[in-house]
Structure 1
């Protein structure tokens, strides 16, 4: 199919890049905000500890670096050095007050560690304003050789994230907007694609039916000439043309009806044991006029020992006929090699041609409905873009597989694999 939406595709591509860039930038920004809030939390703890020392009238030298008095053991735990024994209850009171003064509103567990006894001699729960019930946790073990206070914040990460609510909510809203925008672009492109495929389908439909109808009308006008009766060879010729074009129209209509039925209903298979070599031969017989018209060369290598498959003969005839007809239509001087063999209890049919071939970028699309290959600046080949999707649907319904190998300007090879029935052809 010739897509006339290069600008739209370019716009969608650029929009996708912009959306991706915005999302990446937003994630980087959120990461920076999170790191900033972490540093602010640590800074607030340090200020609370400095004020705490003032509250308890500590005799620690004011010139002592704060980093020598407090350090973070991990993301949730801080150690605070103390130098003399004081009232443990007053320690908890002053620490709680200073944490609240620095706007640290998250649960904290405090413990006073005795380096002499090598255990915690006092523990207290310093609840936040929103804490509903008291609970206990095990304070981290300490191997330090000096007395210190342990401050443990079990919900530190959640608290920091709660401080980022504004940024998280706005980022989520932005993400929703971007997703809706991206979805709208995708929907718009899909609608554009469907409109183009429908236009192509109508154009192809008109082309496929207009030509034979015109030929039939022309032949009919010739047959109306009274003098035609005196020339039996011309009468026979034009009668043959009418018959051939009528058969062509009938075949096209049957294909559309088959496809329409399959689209509106589940593909119902009347399975029976079918020998596929006669099906291939029947297909070639049906396509005899086209083979003669194209002066095609057909090589048959029906080497499969077991060609019996549990299948619907009528549908498989459609499959084989469609693939052979495509191979004939898309080559100037068709040369087909049709071969069969068996692989691991599987019947393998290969239909190889010397046509224009299919570029690699099209191979994964040719089994999509309405899709037709475009060769450079040339118009796509004749047809409705329904044949190969229907073929694949039939093969899938039989539990088989269809694949294609193709080299541009060399040809294509369609390979069908179907599970064999039991037994061998006699």
Structure 2
């Protein structure tokens, strides 16, 4: 299964997991609201039963007798002759009957005094909360006598009633999160395995062709009769030189990347003249240039400025960019320009090659990445050249820009600080 297919499976699984988690949280919230309503209903039933106990006239609608200034507090009209003992005993009994087992503050308010003439804190054995009367009860000024029920631990009590729901939801969410993390690491491992396998196949393919060419060339020039055909000898010698240089470039890139991954990119900066460095890179590519019949044009800034840089690493970076510019064109025309502006030294390498689609440009500097063209083996290289180029430019505190149009060509612009 390729990474693309597995990525879609990962995305679908993530969406399903997210949906399950959201739905579970939704049902938890809904269950909490239901528990809240049930709690309120049970307290109202307890107050209604209290009215029956004390023979209070309840001909009026209960909504006119009971008031909820907040979710934790219930006010209910009582007869001014109602005793505190009757209120406490009856309320305690009725709350127990309605299965409301949480601490409750009971108070009796008298309008003439505008104060509570009686207060008591009623803990329950099932509440498990410390016996504490808590903060002073707020006074709600009314022109009638009322009883007050205040439940300071109402939220904790409701959550306690939902303990199984909460526990099962936490377990489910943890299982889903662990499953999602496992999928992520599985995908990461699979992706790395595919990259490794592709890399091995690419190395085998890239090295096999030049080695075969070298073997054939050596077999031919080893024949005694080759001395009678100097033009053939020159042809095969040149061909083998080109393939040797091709192999050397790949091995250099591979070794430099491996070293960079192991110990980081160590720079040995010194004064470097970019013009001479570029000319040396072009000279090293002479066999490729000749083989592809490439045209190299360069327009250097006139002052021949020097910059502080690591010659060897910058040389390999420029060599890779010029090599790519030649590689991906039928009749290569490579234009190299340099300029200096605001203490920034710019090197532009422009080609007339096949171009790079915008869809692939963001991934171009990633390790082992090669722009696909159908069959993976149709794409030349190991996917290390541009990765190393980016590492070198970043290490110099510079920047590399890419401009490309499919079918027209590509331009890489390197910007390096002068000092």
TM-score of the two chains, using structure 2 as the length reference:
0.89
Residue range with higher mean Cα deviation, 219-228 or 22-31: 22-31
Aligned residue runs from structure 1 range 339-358, under 5 A? 339-342=337-340, 344-358=342-356
What is the 5 A alignment of 1:305-316? 308-316=306-314
Is there any run of 5+ residues in structure 2 with no aligned partner, and where? Answer: none
Q: Which deviates further from its counterpart, 371-380 or 32-41?
A: 371-380
- For residue 413 of structure 1, the aligned residue among 405, 408, 411 is 411
Q: Secondary structure at the match of 2:397?
A: coil
Contact 1:110 1:123 in 2 (8 A): yes
Given that residues 298 and 337 in structure 2 are in contact (C-alpha distance below 8 angstroms), is that contact kept between their aligned partners in structure 1?
yes
Q: Structure 1 residue 263: deviation in Å?
A: 1.4
Q: Is 1:59 aligned to 2:40, yes or no?
A: no
**Structure 1 equivalent of residue 398 of structure 2:** 400
Residue 391 (structure 1) aligns with: 389
Deviation at 1:43, TM superposition (A): 1.0
Q: State the SS of the aligned residue for 1:116.
A: coil
Q: Which one of the candidate residues 50, 53, 57 is aligned to 2:48? A: 50
Distance 1:113 1:275, change over 3 A: farther
Aligned to 1:424: none
Relative to structure 1, is the Cα distance of residues 363 and 70 closer, same or farther in structure 2, using a 3 angstrom cutoff? farther
> Residue 123 of structure 2 corresponds to which residue in structure 1?
127
Alignment CA distance shift 1:145-1:289 (3 Å): farther
**Matches of 1:410 and 1:214 in 2, distance apart?**
33
Q: Does the 8 Å contact 1:274/1:313 carry over to 2?
A: yes
Tell me how far 1:36 sits from its aligned partner.
1.0
Report deviation, 1:307: 5.3
Change (3 A) 1:368 1:106: farther
Deviations 1:32-87, CA, capped at 9 Å, x for gaps: 111111111111111121122233x14222x3322222232223332222232432
Q: Is the 8 A contact 2:202 2:377 kept in 1?
A: no
Q: What's the Cα RMSD here?
A: 2.7
CA distance in 1, matches of 2:122, 2:361: 67
Q: Distance in 1 between matches of 2:68 and 2:336?
A: 76
Q: 1:379 to 1:127 in 2, by over 3 A?
A: same
Q: Are 2:103 and 2:124, in contact at CA under 8 Å, matched by a contact in 1?
A: yes
* Worse-matched range after superposition: 18-27 or 103-112: 103-112
Number of aligned positions between the proteins: 417
Take 1:88 and 1:307, find their aligned partners in 2: how far apart are those partners? 99
Question: Relative to structure 1, is the Cα distance of residues 396 and 152 closer, same or farther in structure 2, using a 3 angstrom cutoff?
Answer: farther
Q: 2:222 aligns with which of 224, 230, 239?
A: 224
Residue 248 of structure 1 corresponds to 246
CA deviation map 1:66-121 (0-9, x unaligned):
22222322233322222324323442343333333322233333333333333333
| 1:31-110 aligned within 5 A | 31-55=29-53, 57-61=54-58, 63-110=59-106
Distance in 2 between residues matched to 1:141 and 1:128, nearest whole Å: 24
CA contact (8 A) 1:334 1:354 kept: yes
Q: CA–CA distance in 1 between the matches of 2:378 and 2:152?
A: 67
Pair 1:292-2:290 in alignment: yes
Alpha-carbon separation, structure 2, partners of 1:66 and 1:163:
27
Distance 1:309 1:176, change over 3 A: farther
Summarize the Cα distance change of 1:108–1:313 in structure 2 as closer, same or farther, 3 Å threshold. farther
Gap change, CA 1:301 and 1:155, over 3 Å in 2: farther
Secondary structure of the 2:264 match is coil
Listed as ranges, the gaps of 5+ residues in structure 1 are 422-426
